[in-house]
Structure 1
């Protein structure tokens, strides 16, 4: 299969890391080759953990989709992504990731659904929640989040099999309205004080950074930020309702 040939070539050029990138690139080609083979790529690696190289390229691909969602490429959003990759992986590795991504992007259209299917089989639900948090951070990098960007992230959320209530909770941290605190805690405005306390305990446990078992700094940071937002939402309702 193409992916194995690409892995061998990658190994010959850049060693083990090249083999991983070659396998990923070959998998993209295999998945586009038709004849019902798109699912084969994922069945071959079911239950295996996503490698750092796989995650980096797929994360960058989703970033690209969000940046292009409103029909224009904003420099501040590009800088946000590049600064993250440089800070996390170092300049040399970040540049290598971008070069590999550009090579793939030139030859094949990026499919959010295919990328999310890949990630669904290799990442925990908590990691995918923080991934959405990071994508909203990109959309907000230019100072405002536009409707096409929200719609695209909502589409990605669906592909990642994230519940609508979880999506709305994350969105409420970036797109403000009159009942953000309730949305963040995933409860209705009619909730009792006891229900608010219970919701806070559930959300604090659900989004505690310790639950996100990943080495990716963007995901870790998203977990910390989201946990803080849950705490702020509860404190706001405590003050508004006089909850002790």
Structure 2
């Protein structure tokens, strides 16, 4: 596979940024070769990632790198968190490709410094906002795989969210999905506790539309599953407020 060779060569010359660029260029070459065999429009397939219509092969290594930052954020590499990431990648990309991604990560990047800012900037330029919200949810799910999210993990995810261009209210909404407190339902719906019933209903419709699974219907099953989880949390928050307010 040309992409893996290019990643290793890129790293040898330009460290981590070179590995990322090499991986992406290698992917382009792989797809050009594949396109010549199938007669497909290879350049269109590769550069449609701006609209999230391309295979996740172009950013899976970046996603794994962000996951590693969250896993190591609290100074403890938790096996449950590692297992969650592996299962997620297998579900999203298939066992063979997931194993290949983990292999190049372990050989080239795992023990090197990873720049959340550089990776997030690349993802921000190539993905829709809805997809970046799902990346944020994925990172919180990793942190929560062992049953709780620590403050260092929250801090790391917050930094990544800022680099991804995630609005603060959206960050707080997704964060609230992983914490049980009296304000969680309001934060998920992005409203204040003083909100009227009418405002609650409006917020629910807005958030249901924002997090509707159809927003990620073009992506793999694992991403769609995450979208369904966010959507369900919005519904649960609304139902909780319905009971509390009696409407």
- Tell me the TM-score normalised to structure 2 length: 0.80
CA distance in 2, matches of 1:52, 1:30: 25
Which one is further off, 88-97 or 78-87? 88-97
Residue pairs, 1:10-21, within 5 angstroms: 14=1, 18-19=2-3, 21=4
- What corresponds to 1:95 in structure 2? 99
What does the per-residue CA deviation read over 1:201-229, in whole Å, with 9 as the maximum and x for residues that have no partner?
A: 10011110111254233321111000010
Which one is further off, 97-106 or 178-187? 97-106
1:226 counterpart = 2:233:
no
Unaligned runs of 5+ in 2: 29-46
Number of aligned residues: 220
Question: How far has the Cα of 1:32 moved from its partner?
Answer: 5.4
Q: 1:151 aligns with which of 140, 152, 155?
A: 155
1:182 counterpart = 2:210:
no
Q: 1:81 aligns with which of 78, 85, 94?
A: 85
**SS of residue paired to 1:63:** helix
Q: 1:241 aligns with which of 225, 235, 245?
A: 245
More helix by share: 2
Q: 1:52 aligns with which of 36, 50, 56?
A: 56
State whether residues 169 and 185 of structure 1, in contact with CA within 8 Å, keep that contact through their aligned partners in structure 2: yes
CA distance in 1, matches of 2:60, 2:100: 11
CA distance in 1, matches of 2:112, 2:12: 8
Q: 1:194 to 1:106 in 2, by over 3 A?
A: closer
- What corresponds to 1:167 in structure 2? 171
State whether residues 91 and 222 of structure 2, in contact with CA within 8 Å, keep that contact through their aligned partners in structure 1: no
1:69 counterpart = 2:73:
yes
What does the per-residue CA deviation read over 1:147-201, in whole Å, with 9 as the maximum and x for residues that have no partner?
A: 1001101111101100110000000000222111100000000111111111011
Q: 1:190 to 1:69 in 2, by over 3 A?
A: same
- What corresponds to 2:115 in structure 1? 111
Question: How far has the Cα of 1:91 moved from its partner?
Answer: 2.7
CA distance in 1, matches of 2:89, 2:136: 17
